[in-house]
Amino acid sequence: MRRPILAVLALLCAAAAPAAAQSSPPSAPRVTVEGTEFVAALADGRVLRSRDLVGAVLDARFAGRPVRIRIAAVEPDPDAHSGTVWLHTLEQTDADGAWTNFCTAGPDGRRQGFPLEGGPNGIELSCTAGAIAKCVRFGYRRWTAAADGVSLAPLHEACVRMVRGDYGGADRPWTKNGMRIDMYDDHGVQAPDNSPEDVFEAGWSPDGAVCVHHVRVRENTTLAELEALYPALRGRTGAVCTEAFARAHGAVLFNRSRP
């Protein structure tokens, strides 16, 4: 799946400078990510984390162009499901040079985000309005394991597909903002709410839905259209799609919604 990747070139931060005056400029700190925190390793051996880096500016490249990202504030996520997620207020410069929020508002009104390890290409910045960050906040932290030892990376991928309603695993969402989703898994991260208004919708793998009982947003698509678009779903929509069927065909995450 396509994700925003920042190739971090330098960290400019008053907090990173030693208290004593220096005869030559310090080398740029090495910036990495642990969990949802920036980690800056300084030349003098000190290590600063996101909470130490408020006010820091990241010189980076985003989609091939230079960009500056400022860490304006950092706080623990009060709504994170198990474990700690660090929410960052991130800012970027606009055309006039003024600092503006990097993130748009999500359903909860928050305009925050956090870094994630992006592999050899750089650091991934995820805003709370997006599916990637939502799934981390739901408890599917792809760098960790569930209580039973199962890696959460595949569940995170499946969660992103599920949140987006990406039935075909083609990075094409079939949902809309504000839809209620009751998600659950077999590894103790999320349990179903079991609302009588909700009906089993689909079973999900990292590659998309393994079967679909009903579509989440009727005006967006139909089961027949999904089968026509995605060969892997042919014969796997409608009444045949149950939790048992989904498990038997590789689902790692499940959800219910209003039909």
Neighbour tally for 101: CB within 10 Å: 15
Read off the pTM. Answer: 0.88
Q: What is the mean pLDDT of each run of 10 residues along the chain (259 residues)?
A: 44 40 52 93 90 89 78 94 91 89 91 89 88 96 96 98 98 93 97 94 98 97 98 98 98 97
Phi-psi region of 4 (alpha: psi -120 to 50; beta: other; left: phi over 0): beta
Neighbour tally for 5: CB within 10 Å: 17
- What ranges make up the beta strands (E) of the chain? 5-12, 30-34, 37-41, 47-49, 57-62, 65-76, 86-93, 99-101, 113-117, 123-127, 182-184, 199-205, 208-212, 253-257
174 phi and psi, to 5 degrees? -120, 20
Domain boundaries defined on the chain: 1-137, 146-259
Burial string for 153-181 (b: 16+ CB within 10 Å, else e) reads: ebbbbbbbbbbbbbbbbeeeebbeeeeeb
Read off the tokens for 201. Answer: 């919708």
CA–chain centroid gap for 210, Å, is: 21
Q: Residue 121 has what pLDDT?
A: 67
